[in-house]
Amino acid sequence: MVAVATIGIFLAVQLAIPISRYGEVGRAQRFGWQMFSIGEQAPRFVVETNAGEREIDLGDYMARVRGDIDIVGLMPAHLCEVVPGAVRVTWQDGVHRC
């Protein structure tokens, strides 16, 4: 009986901690279900070159877009480096000049 109670308590803790963190917004939380708890829509990046504008498919650069990675802080500078002739990168909330 003690073994069954111990296993039951162990399993309850394994579920209770992640469920208590479920739905939190922001940075990835310790002991949280990060694959479910952070659901952000990836920004839509548009690179302007001398030849015109081109919308970027993030799937070409990332295997999976995660909410705990600062895409806006990292991606514009990277796109300036890898897209030939890039002049400016824009997204919903900002502009990055190359």
pLDDT, one tens digit for every residue, the chain (98 residues): 999 999 999 999 999 887 887 766 655 556 555 555 455 677 899 999 988 998 988 888 887 777 667 788 889 999 999 999 999 999 988 999 99
Q: Are residues 59 and 89 in the same domain?
A: yes
Check residue 43 and give its pLDDT. Answer: 85
Q: What is the pTM of this model?
A: 0.57
Q: Are residues 63 and 90 in the same domain?
A: yes
Q: Are residues 52 and 33 in the same domain?
A: no
Q: Are residues 51 and 16 in the same domain?
A: no
Q: Are residues 60 and 84 in the same domain?
A: yes
Instruction: Give the number of domains in the chain.
Output: 2
Segments forming the whole domain that contains residue 22: 2-37
> What is the pairing mode between strands 94-97 and 52-55?
unpaired
Check residue 34 and give its pLDDT. Answer: 57
* 3 state SS of 47: strand
Q: Are residues 53 and 93 in the same domain?
A: yes
Check residue 65 and give its pLDDT. Answer: 75
Burial class (CB in 10 A: 0-12, 13-18, 19+), 75: buried
